[in-house]
Amino acid sequence: MECRAAVIVVVSRNGRILVIKRKERPNDPWSGHIAFPGGRREGSETCDETALRECIEEVGIKPRLVKDIGIYFPNNAPDMKVRAYLGCVDEEFIPQIQKDEVDMAIWINPEQLEIRSDEFYFNGFRIWGMTFRILKDVLEKRFYEECLKK
């Protein structure tokens, strides 16, 4: 289960999904994008350890990992293998964001997503690229239902 980076799709028991807006920074190819908590693997970490560490760092929570969603590749870094996980939390929390990397964290209601051919919109935010593909799989394959169980 190799990866260069990992992300977690955090879903609350009521079905809302956590996304972050990345900080705008020079030389960051994903600057200002809507994304899932995650980042690059460090040292001898496993992919799931990377995803959990990054989630704790970026939004201050350690969700329960329940599913390996698969491998994805960013549009602007097609050689970067990113492993995506589904993580569940019992309650929505107020994210404690890492201000040097994250501008904001937003709980989205999938029913309020405006769907276009290769992107979603939510309250004026554009979700596209790899984040769109991961979210589309989570919704279409109903992976999020794992987190709705009592």
Q: Mind listing the pLDDT tens digit of every residue in the chain (150 residues)?
A: 689 999 999 999 999 999 999 988 787 666 789 999 999 999 999 999 999 999 999 999 999 999 999 999 988 888 899 999 999 999 988 999 999 889 999 999 999 999 988 999 999 999 999 999 999 999 999 999 999 975
Closest CA to 8 of 80, 56, 77, 79: 56
Kindly report the CATH class assigned to 5-147: alpha beta
The domain spans of the chain are 5-147
Look up tokens 């492993």; give the residue: 83
The per-residue pLDDT for 149 is 74
Closest CA to 82 of 121, 44, 50: 50
The per-residue pLDDT for 150 is 59
Output the pTM of the full model.
0.93
Strands 119-122 and 114-115: antiparallel
